[in-house]
Structure formats: structure tokens, C-alpha cells
């Protein structure tokens, strides 16, 4: 879980930990790169726009070491058409608008990790 907003990190860590998932959190793309190299996650949930490394750049860097990893990007700023274009261009598994529905996100994660 990568987001520069600590409230979102805590919320999602609590949600997915309670479902039995092993969850790592990072406040930035650089921190996420270090964590992912140690833990080799199956899925990354990341904010699209963060200081430093964006969610798109993070995905590109992680894909080289873990091509099967799934990626969900979230954004409060992008419109639906822009998000769809980004998803296609950068092979993002799922794009999510903020604010998001926790139950929907949970279902998406479960489906991606089947």
C-alpha cells in the first residue's frame, strides 16, 4: 500500500490485514521500491500522484523485477477517460477513483489475487 496520505495507508492496512493479507505500507514511491525488493509483493495499491516517483513510474520499475505483480492505482485528480487511457498505456490492472468504496476495492483485490 503506497500513499503519501497516512490515513489512507492505515485504513487499507487495517482492512486487508483483517482479511488475512500480509500488508506492507510506504509513504512514497522510493520507500515502496525498497520495501518491494525485500518482500516481492503480489499486488501493489498505489496513489497515482505522489511527490518524487509517481504510481506509473513505480509500476514500471517494479515490473522489471516482478512481471506477474498486479497493480491498482488510485487518484483523486484524474477523470475517468484519463484513467482508462493510463491503464491501457501502462498495463495497470485496475484504476480507482478517490474517494473509493472499501468493499469494492476489497472485491477487486480478491479477484486480482485469485
Question: Residue 43 in contact with residue 113, Cβ under 8 Å?
Answer: yes
Per-residue pLDDT tens digits for 10-26: 999 999 999 999 999 99
β-bridge partners, 2 = 26, 46
Structure confidence at residue 98 as a pLDDT band (50, 70, 90): confident
Is a pLDDT exceeding 90 seen at residue 87?
A: no
- The neighbouring-strand residues paired with 73 are 46, 95
Question: Has residue 86 got a pLDDT over 90?
Answer: no
- 90 and 56 in contact (C-beta within 8 Å)? yes
Mean per-residue pLDDT of the chain: 90
Assess contact for 25 and 9: CB atoms under 8 A: yes
Structure-derived torsion over alpha carbons of residues 57, 60, 65, 68, reported in degrees to the nearest 10: 130
CATH class given for the domain over 6-112: alpha beta
Q: What is the pLDDT of residues 23-59, one digit of tens each?
A: 999 999 999 999 998 988 999 999 988 888 989 899 9
| In the chain, % of residues over pLDDT 90 | 60
Q: From 17, 26, 64, select the one nearest 44 (Cα to Cα).
A: 26
What pLDDT was estimated at residue 78? 63
Domain borders along the chain are 6-112
Amino acid at each position: 500500500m503506497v500513499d503519501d496520505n497516512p490515513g489512507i495507508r492505515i485504513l487499507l492496512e487495517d482492512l486487508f490485514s483483517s482479511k488475512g493479507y500480509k500488508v506492507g505500507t510506504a509513504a512514497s514511491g522510493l520507500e515502496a521500491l525498497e520495501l518491494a525488493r525485500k518482500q516481492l509483493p503480489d499486488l501493489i495499491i498505489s496513489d497515482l500522484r505522489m511527490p518524487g516517483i509517481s504510481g506509473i513510474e513505480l509500476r514500471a520499475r517494479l515490473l522489471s523485477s516482478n512481471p506477474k505483480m498486479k497493480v491498482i492505482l488510485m487518484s483523486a485528480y484524474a477523470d475517468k477517460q484519463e484513467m482508462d487511457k493510463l491503464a491501457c498505456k501502462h498495463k495497470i490492472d485496475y484504476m480507482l477513483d478517490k474517494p473509493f468504496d472499501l468493499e469494492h476495492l476489497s472485491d477487486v483485490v480478491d479477484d486480482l489475487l485469485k
